[in-house]
Structure 1
Amino acid sequence: MSQRTYVNTRMEATSAARGRLRGAAPLSAIRYAAACAAFCISFMFALAVPSAAQTAGDLVREGFAAKERRQFPYAIQLFNEVLRRGELAPDQRGFLLYSRGVSYEALGLRDRALGDLDAAIALLPQFPNSYVYRALIWTDRREFDRARDDLMQALRLNPNSALIHNNLGSVYERKGELDLAIENYGTAIHLDPAYAEAFYNRAHAFIAKQDYQAAIADYDRAIALQKDFADAYSNRGGVYLMQGDTEKAIADFGKAIRLRESDPIFWANRANAYLAIGRYQEAIGDFDRAQKIDPGNAAVYLGRGRARMYSDAIFAAVEDLQTAVRLRPSNPNPAIWLHIARVHQGYADRQELEANTARVKRDQWPSAVLDLYLGNVDTVQVRQIAEEGNGPNAARRLCEADFYIGEFLAHNGKTPDGRQILQTVMAKCRPADVMFSAASAELSEMTPTK
């Protein structure tokens, strides 16, 4: 089970080229058959006689079967009836409340699920599964400390559970405590060496630590264990793309598509890989597929707009980029690229640019580039803003700043200066970055000066 993280609507130009890395898989649920083993038998026998209890037992068994078939509303209805009758010992009532809570959680009715799980824990404090499911709800609500505490209690009750260690790793990763996340994923793997999801999750934590070789090794293992692990192929492709190994990236994205062609992320990932190396028609084709599956995704329109612009389909590019602006008006990237497309089109867009800039959040990079276009800051100031702060995005920001500055100068009467900066982009930025291919495209359109 892998996290559903659709194409990143932040839409940083370089991250768009790297492929969408789905995050750590969400906390895993304990399968009902395992949870039921210790308690279902007591239900069946305790409710077998007298005749009234037999009727309740039939309801319980039918409810459990409905839950296994994922017929959760029907299961809840049956559990309600048994609980209404009140013919239960405290431990039986606790397990039935747990089962109904699990059913509510599966339907997304988390407030009701939480109430049932709280009651189940009160009645069955030594039953670890209730803590695990409650941790699912805390995680969904981003209450990570509560999720951690519940999983720690579950581990005290069941210390050799690979699933609980894997879930605890996911919580630590969401808290940003990557070393603890990796440690817990590793424990899960030690307890269950065939646990593909734990390898997948640990790979994602390694990416956050920029240990890409370790990430690839874990994705390799996850795929070896689970041949149809589409998200693992896609994420491994994203890492290959980060490292500049475009052919391997495209191959992995293609494998993910073949396994689950209805997933728009996979098509967008391969499209961004093609875009990064200037294979614009192939990029457009894959963006088309992603757009048909997920027609409201702003990043898809942004990517396809760039591909169309550099393949000389300028009017279609403008249309795509306008759509991206409408979908994400506060994000600076669509507004920037729409202006660049207008420049390529030879269209005076001052009024449009001002209107779009007014809606952009001013506290996020690269909004300063819009101020450059409007004449509010100069190129030196833009680069200074890009240099602010450190961290893993520092090099990316400088790469973007140099591209935008070079592109700006090249189209504003300073072609030699612009060309020189764009050549710097190609020398310093990674081939997998969108800015690298964009700089290449801009340079190819310039007439060399004599």
Structure 2
Amino acid sequence: MLLKSKLLVISIVLCVQGCAAINSNKSESNGIGQLVIAEPVAVNYKSEIAILRLSDIILRAEITDEQRAQLFYDRGVIYDSVGLRSLARLDFNRALKLKPNLVDAYNFIGIQFTQLQEFNQAYDAFDSALDLNPEHEYAYLNRGIALYYGGRPNLARSDFQVFHHGRADDPYRLLWLYLAEYQINASQAKADLAERSTQVADNIWAKNIINLYLGEETQSEFIQNLTLNINTNKELSDRLCEAYFYLGKYNQLLGKEDVASNFFKLALSTNVFEFVEHRYAKLELDLMRSEQLEIDTTTEPE
């Protein structure tokens, strides 16, 4: 439920070096003028109350193991939605001990192992989910993401293709498929993105992300349009979480690591913990730091 509130919009200047659209002749100035920032989303008091009530039922009620497993899972989902990942993982594991065929718990555990860069354990969790329910489409998405970050783009592409096939008009499914295919063959990935994007309606906001990646919209134009049709701070935070993550990936593909890092940090600043983009903005930053540390270590003078 969205609460009406006054938007907090702060315009700041982000200086970047020579931003250009991917594989495009369009150029942009060295400064991105107006960058929109939303007030970070606060934890919903209803989530806190729900955690308290579920905890009370788990401790005091006389219920079956299957019912208790579901309650552990439900509480884990709420913990996860407010950023308490360790508590969520503990509850998901408790749920699986009581009910080993709880598909969604495997899916969530796989996501968390991906965020921790424990990729083999993530694959095992998603495999378990799909063994129990081969039609669980989000297990394909999440296993694809784990494979993507685990350096297996061909396998990631296969999972993203299954996920994309479920709803070919969903721009986010198309974007993840593109990111995996870009690692395999960048020029072919762009051509395929252009062809598949015709199935995405122009009135869907995320179509702008696709246009940005195709070079049909500049980065400055993309940022200027971020507040269109936004009425609440929650709506703004949700959009910025997505937008800044994909701007981070966009600049990363251009080799602009410092700019990408700033955009990932902006995505994290929204506090939209349950969004895929928020989850993996943190992983992107962790991976970038690890790569930089490895470079610094190998270039140290003897």
Given the two structures, how large is their TM-score scaled by the length of structure 1?
0.49
Q: Report the counterpart of residue 238 of structure 2 in structure 1.
A: 396
Paired amino acid for 1:371 = N
Following superposition, the deviation at residue 221 of structure 1 comes to: 2.1
1:427-446 matches, within 5 Å, as: 429=271, 433-440=278-285, 443-444=288-289
Distance in structure 2 (CA, Å) of the matches to 1:337 and 1:279: 20
Distance in structure 2 (CA, Å) of the matches to 1:240 and 1:311: 26
State the Cα deviation string for residues 399-429 of structure 1 (Å, max 9, x = none). 2211110110121243332233234445555
1:32-431 matches, within 5 Å, as: 210-224=45-59, 225=61, 226=63, 228=65, 229=67, 230-348=69-187, 349-388=189-228, 389=230, 390=232, 392-426=234-268, 429=271
Preserved CA contact (<8 Å) 1:233 1:255: yes
Distance in structure 1 (CA, Å) of the matches to 2:223 and 2:262: 16
State the Cα deviation string for residues 333-366 of structure 1 (Å, max 9, x = none). 1210111112233432122112221222444443
Following superposition, the deviation at residue 294 of structure 1 comes to: 1.9
Give unmatched runs, 5+ long, in structure 2.
4-42
Preserved CA contact (<8 Å) 1:275 1:434: no
Identity over aligned residues, as a percent? Answer: 21
Structure with more of its chain in helix, by fraction: 1
Which structure is larger by alpha-carbon Rg, 1 or 2? 1
Paired amino acid for 1:380 = S
Distance in structure 2 (CA, Å) of the matches to 1:287 and 1:386: 34
The farther-off stretch of 244-253 and 439-448 is 439-448
Give unmatched runs, 5+ long, in structure 1.
1-175, 179-207
Shift of the 316–223 alpha-carbon distance from structure 1 to 2, 3 Å rule, reads same
Paired amino acid for 1:414 = K
Q: RCO (CA 8 Å, sep 6+): is it higher in 1 or 2?
A: 2
Distance in structure 2 (CA, Å) of the matches to 1:417 and 1:343: 20
Shift of the 177–397 alpha-carbon distance from structure 1 to 2, 3 Å rule, reads closer
Following superposition, the deviation at residue 441 of structure 1 comes to: 5.1
Following superposition, the deviation at residue 307 of structure 1 comes to: 0.6
